């Protein structure tokens, strides 16, 4: 419910963003918006409070107190996430005329549940608990990005900016220099290294550059 920006003067700047877990987002200029640390701290406190609540006897005074604590921490986490989303969206809308981002719906449809390799035993995979936890983290992050994109769309509309969702397929495995597409271009989560032209960069920056390109193609193909 924060104030929406008034229409802003054109900046001549366009940007693509890649939403991630390690960083909340990376942009096509090589900048990163980290996930808020205070958010993780508050989440850990909330988890501890929920465990404490589960140990309290029904109808007890302690239980009522524990319920209040959980509710208070819940509000705090929610407020911090919202503040962070508002601030991140406002910065983007102030600085750029056009923002391209991945279409979360398409991204979720294409996401295969990836088994987690066990780092201590090459060739084997961690027990289900680990991947369930990763899946949970993933779905919490998805919810955060959904809220962020809704806030971004509202602010962009108020400011007269354009926001465009693009198909995220291959955005993380296409070389921004030579356009070579290969899963091998991404040896690790963070690293992009083109097997064809040797171009090296942060993988999330590469993703954001490709998202911007796809967004501009879509924008130019869409009649105004």
Report the interface residues with Zn ion, using CB under 5 A. Answer: 175, 177-178, 180, 194, 196-197, 199
Residue 177 CB, nearest approach to Zn ion (Å): 5
Let me know: does 24 contact 37? Beta carbons within 8 Å. no
Partners of 32 in the β-ladder = 26
Q: Considering beta carbons, is residue 199 or 202 the nearer one to Zn ion?
A: 199
Q: Considering beta carbons, is residue 124 or 188 the nearer one to Zn ion?
A: 188
Residue 167: CB atoms within 10 Å: 14
Q: Considering beta carbons, is residue 149 or 175 the nearer one to Zn ion?
A: 175
Residue 204 CB, nearest approach to Zn ion (Å): 17
Let me know: does 204 contact 20? Beta carbons within 8 Å. yes
Q: Considering beta carbons, is residue 77 or 194 the nearer one to Zn ion?
A: 194
Residue 201 CB, nearest approach to Zn ion (Å): 10
Residue 11 CB, nearest approach to Zn ion (Å): 30
Q: Considering beta carbons, is residue 144 or 207 the nearer one to Zn ion?
A: 207
DSSP string across 57-109: PTT-HHHHHHHHHHHHHHHHHHHHHHHHHHHHHHHHHHH-SEEEEE-HHHHHH
Q: Report the alpha-carbon angle 220-206-91, nearest 5.
A: 70
Q: At a CB cut-off of 8 Å and minimum separation 6, what does 181 contact?
A: 170, 173, 174, 175
Residue 180 CB, nearest approach to Zn ion (Å): 5
């Amino acid at each position: 419910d924060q104030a929406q920006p008034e229409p802003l003067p054109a900046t001549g700047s366009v940007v693509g963003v890649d939403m991630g877990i390690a960083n909340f987002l990376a942009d096509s200029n090589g900048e990163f918006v980290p996930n808020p640390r205070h958010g993780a701290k508050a989440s850990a406190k909330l988890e501890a409070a929920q465990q404490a609540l589960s140990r309290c006897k029904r109808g007890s005074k302690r239980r009522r107190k524990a319920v209040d604590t959980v509710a208070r921490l819940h509000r705090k986490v929610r407020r911090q996430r919202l503040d962070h989303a508002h601030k991140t969206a406002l910065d983007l809308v102030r600085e750029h005329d056009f923002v391209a981002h991945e279409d979360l719906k398409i991204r979720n449809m294409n996401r295969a549940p990836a088994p987690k390799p066990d780092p201590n035993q090459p060739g084997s995979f961690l027990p289900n608990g680990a991947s369930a936890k990763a899946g949970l983290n993933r779905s919490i992050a998805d919810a955060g990005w959904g809220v962020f994109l809704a806030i971004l769309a509202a602010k962009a509309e108020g400011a007269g900016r354009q926001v465009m969702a693009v198909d995220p397929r291959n955005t993380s495995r296409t070389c921004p220099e030579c356009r070579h597409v290969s899963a091998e271009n991404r040896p690790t989560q963070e690293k992009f290294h083109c097997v064809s032209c040797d171009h090296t960069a942060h993988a999330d920056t590469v993703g954001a550059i490709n998202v911007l390109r796809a967004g501009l193609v879509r924008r130019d193909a869409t009649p105004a």
